[in-house]
Structure formats: structure tokens, C-alpha cells
Amino acid sequence: MHLTEPLLVPNAQWPQLNAPTVVDVPGPADEAFIAPMPINFGERPVFIIGDLPQHETAAAHAALTIARELRVPVLMEPTAGTRDSSVAIRHHALVTDAFLKEATCAISLGRFGLGRHLRRLCEQVPTHIAFAAYGSWADPYATADVTLPAGQLAAALADMSATEPSWLQKWRDADDAAHNKLDSALREWAEQPTGIHIAQEVLAAARAHDALVFAAASRSIRDVDLVANHNGPKVIANLGVNGIDGLLSTAAGVATYADQHTYLLIGDIAFLHGSNGLLSPADEPRPSLTIVVNDDNGGAIFSDLEQGAAQYSPWFERVFGTPHDLDLVALARGYGVDAVEAFDLTQLRDALSPHKGIRVVVVAGCDREKSRDMRAALRRS
């Protein structure tokens, strides 16, 4: 955990947080809905759908049904399910800020918070309604005016009326423009793959081969969020406080349980942290798993944060970049695992063909600074 405020400053002035109205129930609601306060949706609401447990997916279907009927834009994180082509905004990380002053209500469902744009949206709108999956925290920024159980979503939103006629179309036009800019940037920067390129190739391979994608924490899941399209595939991830612990073992468990080929998209530091997950007893069956490692020799996500600013460059690499200078292919082979290296997108595509057992594909020579510059250029455009 990183705190940006010291805890022991005398007379520190802490920001005042909303005190949300919380309806606390022990499980999915089956009683008649009674609104704890009048809810003003306005004419320009926005849905946010985050991570949900399997027993709460009916609430996501209800939200998407309402969104289609009333023409409400939907911002779906990768683990929320396939982005509905009629209402879901594919590249919401790139376009949401343009609508902060216009949106009248944020309606969130499940656990979310991969991008700061979602925080800015929840902070800016006059009303934020959070629907919590059973046992999950649904108000990460303490911005919700009311928090309700996910099972009451349909009843709580029954009085919503149609949105401003052009509201959804404005988002879709912005999304199409962002999609074109992203495609152009991916082609322009294709000579040396970035994390965004790798995420796009993994998603494409999973779609082509009816496979699952397990996205590692930190930069990997955010790259997937940026390029995920309307046509799947299913994305799974560890969220919350899991960090980079046990990602290889979790992905192997997912592939084994699903009995389906699975792609693990992971950074080099997370791969090193969990590399003992490559070790299994010789008599145990191996899952059908491709581990795709973005080897940019260090921690990529920190380059995009405040500590990546030029003023901290004398200390950045030692404290945050933490380059390892290791041969990850040799490391994987030391565990008896098939491992190959890819230096460009053509080699990466060839290496992503499904196979039996575990394979490690190390995408070599990725440049953290180049990836950061590409993301910054996309945000500016």
C-alpha cells in the first residue's frame, strides 16, 4: 500500500469524504425495494460495471438490459464480461474525461477501479449510486451517495427514464475516434512491441482459439482494458489486494479447472515473483497454458505514475524500475518448461498457437519508456 499523506503530521487537514447511505443486507436481496433516498439520475447517466462473482452476474445482465433500453453508455472493466456492442464503450480509458462535466449520474456495479478516469467520473457527477456484490466493496473512492445490494439493481432503477437523445451517440462517436487513433498508434509503434501490442495479440489469439485470458495485476490488466473489443474473449484476473502473488499458480488452476486453453499475460517482475509456480510434480498433468511475458526489464506501471516524472529520474530505476537483467527463457527451461523468445509481432503470433502443456513466451526487448510515451500520446490525442 502507498499513502501520499504522512500519518503523523500535527494538525493535518484531511479531506472530507461523503458519508454514503448504506443498505446493509446479509446476501442477495429478495425483499421489496424501498429507496433510502430520492435518486436523481438526470438525463446523462453512465453505467460502470466492474468485477462480479458468478452468482451476481444476473445484475450485470439487468444493467445491460436497462442500458440498451434507455441508451445509457456502459464502461466495462475486462473482468465484467464481454463488452456489449450496442452500449459498451470499448476505449473508455481514453474518452471518459471528455464527458466529466456533462454526466449527471454514475451507476456502478461490482468492484472497479483500474483507471483513474473512473475515479474522476465518480468524483465529478452529482450522484453516484453503487451496487455491491455480496461480500465485495463497491465504493473504492468513498464517492457513493447510496450503496445498495446488487440484487436490487433492477428495482432501484425502475424509475429511470430515457436519456438525452444524443447522449449515447456522443460516447460512441468518441469511442470510434479513439479506436481509429489506437489502431493508427499500434501500427506506428509496431517495430518494437509494447505492452499494448502484446495485450492486443493475446486477446486476438484467445478469440481465434476459443481460449481464456488471465491478465496479471498492475500494467497487464490495464493494457487489456485499453484494447479490449466488443467480441471477447473472457478475461479473468486477481483483483483487490492480491498484487502479484501467485499469478502463475492461479492461471494454471484456471486452465486446469476450465479444461480450456488459457493465456496468461504477465509482466517480467510478476513472472519472476511467482516463477516457482512453474514447478509441479512430474506425475501431475500439465494444464494447457501459454504464459506470455512482457520483458521490459523492470516495473512498467511506475513509469506512468507520479514517480515516473523527470525530477525523480536519479532514483527511479533503483527504487521503482528495479531492472533484473535476467534470461527469463533460461529460467523457465530450468523448470523443465518449454520456453521461446519473440522479438517482434510476427514471432509472437507464431508462438501463440495452442499446444499441449505449459509454454512460456518471452517477448524480449520491450521498452518501458516507449510504452509510456505511446500511452501518453494516446491520452493527449
Per-range mean pLDDT, top range of 14-18, 111-115, 259-263: 259-263
Residue 341 phi, psi dihedral angles, 5° rounding: -115, 140
For the segment 93-101, the average pLDDT, to the nearest whole number, is 97
- Residue pair 179/90 in contact by the 8 Å Cβ criterion: yes
For residue 164, tell me if it sits in a domain. Answer: yes
Residues 13-37: tens digit of each pLDDT: 444 444 444 444 444 444 455 555 6
What grid cell was written down for 265? 499475460
DSSP string computed for 320-343: II------HHHHHHHTT-EEEEE-
Give yes or no for residue 180 having a pLDDT over 70: yes
Residues 119 and 252 in one domain: no
Q: Residue 174 and residue 45: Cα distance in Å, rounded?
A: 16
Residues 247 and 374 in one domain: yes
Overall pTM > 0.85: yes
Q: Which of 37, 309, 18 is nearest to 139 (CA)?
A: 18
Q: Which residues pair with 128 in a beta bridge?
A: 106
Residues 207 and 167 in one domain: no
Residues 317 and 281 in one domain: yes
Give the DSSP letter of residue 111: B
For residue 371, tell me if it sits in a domain. Answer: yes
What grid cell was written down for 197? 501490442
Q: What is the reported pLDDT for 305?
A: 78
Q: What is the reported pLDDT for 68?
A: 96
- Residue pair 115/222 in contact by the 8 Å Cβ criterion: yes
Residues 137 and 228 in one domain: no
Domain boundary among the residues 172, 199, 216 is at 172
Q: Residue 288 and residue 379: Cα distance in Å, rounded?
A: 36
CATH of the domain at 31: 3.40.50.1220
Residues 206 and 318 in one domain: yes
Give the DSSP letter of residue 44: S
Residues 322-357: tens digit of each pLDDT: 889 999 999 999 999 999 999 999 999 999 998 889
Residues 298-321: tens digit of each pLDDT: 887 788 778 878 888 888 888 888
Q: Which domain holds residue 210?
A: 189-380
Domain boundary among the residues 172, 205, 233 is at 172
Q: How many domains does the chain have?
A: 2
Outline where DSSP puts E strands in 243-375. Answer: 262-267, 289-294, 338-342, 358-363
Residues 142 and 72 in one domain: yes
